[in-house]
Structure 1
Amino acid sequence: MALIAVGVVLLIRQPALLPNWRAILWSPSGAAVLFTRIAVGWLMLFVHEMAHLVTARAAGVPGRVAFGTRLQFLAVQTDVSGIWLAPRRVRLTVYLSGIAVDIALCAACVILSVLTGPHPAYSIALLTGMSMLATQACVFMRTDLYFVLQDLTGCRNMYGDVVTYVRYGLARLMGRRRPGPIVHVSRRERRWLAVYGVVLVGGTIACLAVFATITLPVTVALVVGAVRTLISPGGPSGTVDAVVVLTLLATTQFLWLRAWWRRHGRRLRRRGAAVVSA
């Protein structure tokens, strides 16, 4: 808390310490920019997940870190399901520990910028931490704040219940018969589920729209540029840069597909077997 407080005070007194997005483009080499962002991002993700794991272990709850997917994002998730049996104070500590570490790392970058002068590493880490904190607000993707919200509202399975309602509504609109929605929730839970349902549907649509209009075009542009460089090489440095860009992008997509298949593959195989047997 002291570290965070010092960082906040310094930012208030010197707003120029807050870098803009151009700080990410610290090098003319696209490979260097991508590699730096990926390296810093994964390092901070590792520290974030270790915070969950360590606080859960301190409470006597085992945990497991693994890759997962949240819509189009590749994510690292820590499974600490056993923490649900712990007191609320312990549960909230585990849920919020990663966010607390993210804020502390951002504060440390601000303090280091003041003590040693500005550096691209501090700017990239600070912007990465801020983007990670912003992502936590996307509770429709079951982020850490989602579990905090679920705990404070007293809902047992907020995401699953809302998905059940949405699928039921879509099935009725399409004229399909489907079992009725869940009825075991209280009136208080229903109110919170209605609010979360709006957030879930709206947030998912907005997130996929950003992917279609920003992320996908940028990725396609990087791939096309790298392929053109390989086809008409302008020199060894350009060729190496293009190979690194394609390798980094392909690795990220492979990890996403692998995590997505691990989560949804069994269900898809069952549906495929049902279609074949029919």
Structure 2
Amino acid sequence: MLRRTAHALADAAREAILPHFRAFDLQTENKLEDEFDPVTIADRAAEQAMRDILAKDRPKDAILGEEFGHLKGQSGLTWVLDPIDGTRGFIAGTPTWGVLIAICDDSGPLYGIIDQPYIGERFEGGFGHATMLGPHGSKKLRTKVGFDLAQSIIFTTFPEIGTKIDQAAFHAVAKTCKLTRYGMDCYAYALLAAGQIDLVIEAGLQSYDIAAPIAVIQAAGGIVTDWTGGSAYRGGRVIAAASAQQHAEALEIMQQFDLD
């Protein structure tokens, strides 16, 4: 039932978003005064479409969404929604944004979906599932194993990640890796779960940015923590790794910096 509802949410979000992608008349607002944090009509329409389904099918569950905030529930379950993770990419026309849907309890994410509507790829993890569905059909998700940092591919969304200390810690790890790439938002986490890349390191995240990726990556065999090795469910500084070895090597480098 929960998986079926989650897929229904992803389907509804796709339908709400796609008419606006690469539209010349896309309505965009800036949520902040001192920096660019965009929101579009597609963000709001997608989250509202998902909330409408939950109001009908799961009225006792709580909801935490980026655009419309927190709705209290009674069941002990919370749906964590990011209707478009990567709105900057969305308005630029790159197909690297995604819809994030997670089911969480007090312990953290139980199940998640990363959906890329334009490409037609859907990654899910949890409740015994770790699969992706896309143009090549269905495939089991499995992270890479047996690689050290010198062989690793690392991603982050912004080169100017977090604070100056955060940037120094990230670049110290990246300097050790084989290849560093930028700008993928949630799609980088999907690539990690699919066995394409090895590490994603970010800072300044909210829970709706990371809850779904945590569930998908963990189901695929990877590990996601904060930069001290603790829980990342609440956001902040996050490191996702394909294997425990890469995770440990990266943390050892990062913990040489004052991350308090």
TM-score bracket, shorter-length normalisation: under 0.3
Q: TM-score, normalised on structure 1?
A: 0.25
Higher strand share: 2
Give the structure with higher Rg (CA): 1
Higher relative contact order (CA 8 A, sep 6+): 1
Decide which structure has greater helix share: 1
> TM-score, length-normalised on structure 2?
0.26
